[in-house]
Amino acid sequence: MAKTISLTINGKRITTVPGTTILMAARQVGIRIPTLCYHPRLSATGSCRVCMVEVRGRPTLMPSCTTTVEDGMEVVTANDRVLEARRLIVQLLLASGNHNCLTCQSNGACELQKLAYDLGIEALAFPARSSGYPRDDSNAMIERDPDKCILCSRCVRACQEVQVNEVLDFGYRGRRSKIVTAWDLPYAESDCVFCGECVSVCPTGALTEKQAKFQGRPWELKKVRTTCPYCGTGCQLDLNVRDGRVVKVTSDTLHGPPNYGSLCVKGRFGYDFIHHPDRLTAPLVRHKEGFRKASWDEALDLVASRFSQIKQSYGADALAGLSSARCTNEENYLFQKLMRTAIGTNNIDHCARL
C-alpha cells in the first residue's frame, strides 16, 4: 500500500494518508461537505446520505463520511446532480414528522433547518406526515419529540459509544421506525441515567433540555465556559445565561480534556440550586431562638471582635477553621492564609477525609 494517496476534490489536488475518508480529506483543505448523521466523536454510518458526493467512474453517488480515498480519485462535492440529491433527501426529512421551527427549542441551532436554508428550500415538496408517536414528557430533564426525529441515530451512537450506557436503539420497522429504549419505555422508566449525551448530539429539536424550554433561543444565550461544581472529574461546561439567569448547561467536544463534551446528570441538569429561593441573601446573626438579618458590616465586625476576644482569652489555638472542597483554590488559599496570619493557628482542615 502506498504511504500517501493523491486525489482531486473539486479539481483541487490533495495528498493524504490511506484510510482517510473523502469527508476528512475535503475538510483538510477547507472544502465543506454538509453532513447530518455524521458526528466527530461517533462512528460514521453513512446513513443519512446528505454528504453524498460524485466520484468519477462510480455509477452512484457515494457517502463521503464512509468512503475512503483512493489513488487517482476525482471527487466533486457540489454539482447539480449532487445538490438535487441532497435537496430530495432534505425534503423527505422535512416531510417526515412535524418540523415546526417557529417555537422549536432548536430554532437557530438545528442542523436540518440550516441544511434546508443552505440548499435554498423554500417550501415543502411533499405533505408532512406525523410519525404518530407522542412526545415523551416523562421526566423533568429531557423532552423527546419523535415528530422531529430524523432517525440519524446520533443519539443511539452517543449512548452506546460515548457514554456506553446502551439504553437506546432502533425499534420497529420501515415507516414505523423509532428510536427506543428497551421495551420502548419512556426515559423515566428506562435504564436511562440522564447524562444527556443524546441531547447534546441531536441535530434537530427531537431531543431537548426540558427546563430550558421557552427560556431563551440559542442566539439569546450567552455561554460562559466554566468547571462543573460537583465531582472531582472537573468536567468543562458552558453555563447558558439569559438576563442574569443560568437557564441551561451544555458542553462541547472541542472543549477537550477531561470530558470532551460529555457530562453526567449532575453537571448537565443540576443547576437549579443557583437561583433557588432558599438561597441566603443576607448575613444572619443569632437572636433568641433563631436568627435575625444583619448588614455585612455588622456581621463581619461581630465575627472579627468575637474571634479576637476568644484569641485573647484562650490563645490562637482555641480557634479553628474548616475550609471547603467546594470553594475555589483562591478561596482555600486565602482561608488558610487568614487562619495562619490573622488568627495565628494551624487548626485548619477540610473534608477531604470524608
Q: 256 to 285, contacts with another protein by CB under 8 A?
A: 256-259, 262-267, 269-276, 278-285
Considering only residues 143 to 162 of the shown chain, the ones binding ligand SF4 according to CB under 6 A are: 149-155, 158-159
Under rule CB under 6 A, residue 167 binds ligand SF4: yes
Closest CA to 105 of 264, 220, 265: 220
What is d(CA 71, CA 2) in angstroms, rounded to the nearest whole number? 9
Taking the complex as a whole, how short is the minimal distance between the CB of residue 233 and ligand SF4, in angstroms?
A: 4
Coil, strand, or helix at residue 139?
A: coil
With CB under 5 to 8 Å by kind, the binding choice for 150 among ligand SF4, another protein, none is ligand SF4
Taking the complex as a whole, how short is the minimal distance between the CB of residue 63 and another protein, in angstroms?
A: 23
**Which of 10, 98, 211, 215 touches another protein (CB under 8 A)?**
211
Under rule CB under 6 A, residue 104 binds ligand SF4: no
What is d(CA 156, CA 168) in angstroms, rounded to the nearest whole number? 5
Taking the complex as a whole, how short is the minimal distance between the CB of residue 94 and ligand SF4, in angstroms?
A: 13
- Kindly give the pairing relationship between strand 5-9 and strand 74-76: parallel
Return the C-alpha cell found at 186: 419512556
Return the sign of the alpha-carbon dihedral for residues 208, 212, 214, 216: negative
Return the C-alpha cell found at 277: 429561593
Chain centre distance of CA 60:
35
Under rule CB under 8 A, residue 185 binds another protein: no
**Which of 29, 124, 125, 231 touches ligand SF4 (CB under 6 A)?**
231
Under rule CB under 6 A, residue 266 binds ligand SF4: yes
Which range of residues in 94-102, 113-121, 214-222, 256-264 is near ligand SF4 by CB under 6 A? Answer: 256-264
Closest CA to 118 of 36, 39, 42, 47: 36
Under rule CB under 6 A, residue 110 binds ligand SF4: no
